[in-house]
């Protein structure tokens, strides 16, 4: 299987949500089209571009230039880079900044950055003046295939990741794959975990294609656009069926129950990037599925082998520094958003491309599994 994409051809994926439908535009150099696309949707709107220090250094002038042709007024707001910006303090300051710039309901916020900026700026847009439209311009692989699509916005709490937020759909997503060229390898690799996830949860053929073509995705050939578009189509289809995660959308959290707990245990720090935590979480979810007699061991090993081949962590020993014991990890898992009336829900697998929602998982069995895995460190 080869990528059916020619260099330079933008791909459009629609997220079908009735009156709130929007397009994801994917292609190299598409940042330059941002102003025209926004003007066609909200002519005359004032624009506030929210970004972080790292993205501002590399790409903010190009974003301002792209928007200038369409916006009568442009404000730029730069926040510190990193997960620590997904906090009440930074959210408060961002909301105050948007109000100080006189951003009104008819104006536009542009979330120009990775997942942190998308979540933070999207949440601010959801609450300022009870809701301002916004555009996602994701600058990391993880954001282009996952967090920019679907309208989930949030900040973190000391109790866990993404626990305070709102569903607020963007009106447009522009994924310029050329922006990924400046990403550090570790960041790109972490984002790839979410690409692999789409194959693992529901597309065995795509996972097999990734096994054969992942190096081309990393190299920036048209295979990159193909992988991103395939991932976005998978997410768009699930979001269209289940916008607010009352059913199938929970499948997108494959690996996240374990992963978010590990990420919180590592202090939401560079010790463990989000995508790295998800790679570990998916490996653990596959191993736990095998433990329950659901997934053949060879399939779990195949999943872990591919994640390891691209350089993602698949063993808890990969996490630098200490980790809490199983009881503390269980406390963090109990804060997972899929928990219902105290009952644990996991996304498990019966095969590559065959994930399913498993409610009422026995907590003592999870604790015993984690105790064994921690002992292996």
What are the catalytic residues? 130, 152, 194, 235, 245, 249, 253, 256, 260, 274
d(CA 85, CA 79): 7
Per the listing, tokens 């709102």 go with 166
Instruction: Give the N- to C-terminal CA distance of the chain in Å, as an integer.
Output: 38
Q: How many residues does the chain have?
A: 377
Burial category of 292 from C-beta neighbours within 10 Å (exposed 0-12, middle 13-18, buried 19 and up): middle
Helix, coil or strand: residue 114: coil
Per the listing, tokens 């997934």 go with 295
Helix, coil or strand: residue 21: coil
Which residues, 6+ apart, have CB-to-CB distance to 174 below 8 Å? Answer: 25, 30, 31, 33, 34, 37, 135, 136, 137
Q: Which helix (H) or strand (E) holds 174?
A: strand 172-176
- CB-side neighbour CA atoms (13 Å) of 224: 28
Per the listing, tokens 């629609």 go with 14
Helix, coil or strand: residue 73: coil
Structure tokens at 129: 């003046």
Per the listing, tokens 């990924």 go with 180
Helix, coil or strand: residue 87: coil
Evaluate whether 75 touches 48 at the Cβ level (below 8 Å): yes
Per the listing, tokens 């996602």 go with 136
Nearest to 111 by CA among 161, 166, 168, 173: 173
d(CA 357, CA 353): 13
Per the listing, tokens 């150099």 go with 29
Burial category of 77 from C-beta neighbours within 10 Å (exposed 0-12, middle 13-18, buried 19 and up): buried
């Amino acid at each position: 299987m080869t990528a059916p994409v020619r260099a330079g051809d933008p791909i459009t994926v629609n997220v079908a949500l009735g009156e709130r439908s929007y397009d994801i535009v994917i292609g190299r150099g598409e940042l330059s089209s941002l102003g025209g696309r926004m003007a066609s949707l909200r002519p005359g709107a004032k624009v506030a571009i929210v970004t972080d220090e790292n993205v501002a250094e590399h790409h903010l002038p190009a974003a301002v230039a792209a928007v200038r042709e369409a916006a009568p007024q442009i404000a730029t707001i730069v926040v510190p880079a990193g997960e620590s910006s997904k906090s009440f303090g930074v959210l408060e300051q961002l909301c105050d900044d948007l109000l100080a710039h006189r951003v009104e309901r008819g104006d536009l916020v542009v979330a120009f950055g990775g997942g942190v900026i998308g979540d933070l700026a999207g949440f601010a847009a959801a609450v300022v003046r009870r809701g301002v439209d916004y555009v996602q311009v994701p600058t990391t692989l993880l954001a282009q295939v996952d967090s920019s699509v679907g309208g989930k916005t949030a900040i973190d709490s000391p109790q866990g990741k993404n626990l305070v937020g709102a569903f607020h759909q963007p009106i447009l997503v522009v994924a310029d794959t050329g922006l990924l060229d400046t990403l550090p390898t570790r960041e790109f690799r972490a984002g790839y975990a979410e690409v692999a996830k789409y194959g693992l949860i529901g597309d065995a053929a795509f996972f097999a294609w990734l096994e054969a073509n992942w190096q081309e995705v990393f190299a920036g050939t048209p295979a990159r656009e193909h992988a991103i578009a395939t991932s976005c189509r998978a997410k768009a289809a699930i979001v269209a069926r289940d916008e607010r995660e009352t059913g199938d959308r929970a499948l997108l959290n494959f690996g996240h129950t374990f992963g978010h707990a590990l990420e919180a245990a590592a202090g939401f720090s560079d010790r463990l990037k989000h995508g790295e935590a998800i790679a570990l979480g998916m490996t653990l979810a596959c191993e736990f599925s095998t433990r329950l007699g659901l997934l053949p061991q060879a399939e779990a090993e195949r999943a872990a082998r591919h994640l390891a081949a691209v350089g993602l962590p698949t063993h808890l020993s990969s996490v630098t520094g200490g980790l809490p014991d199983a009881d503390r990890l269980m406390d963090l898992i109990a804060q997972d958003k899929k928990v219902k009336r105290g009952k644990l829900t996991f996304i498990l697998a019966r095969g590559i491309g065959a994930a399913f929602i498993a409610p009422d998982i026995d907590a003592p069995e999870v604790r015993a599994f984690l105790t064994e895995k921690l002992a292996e460190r």
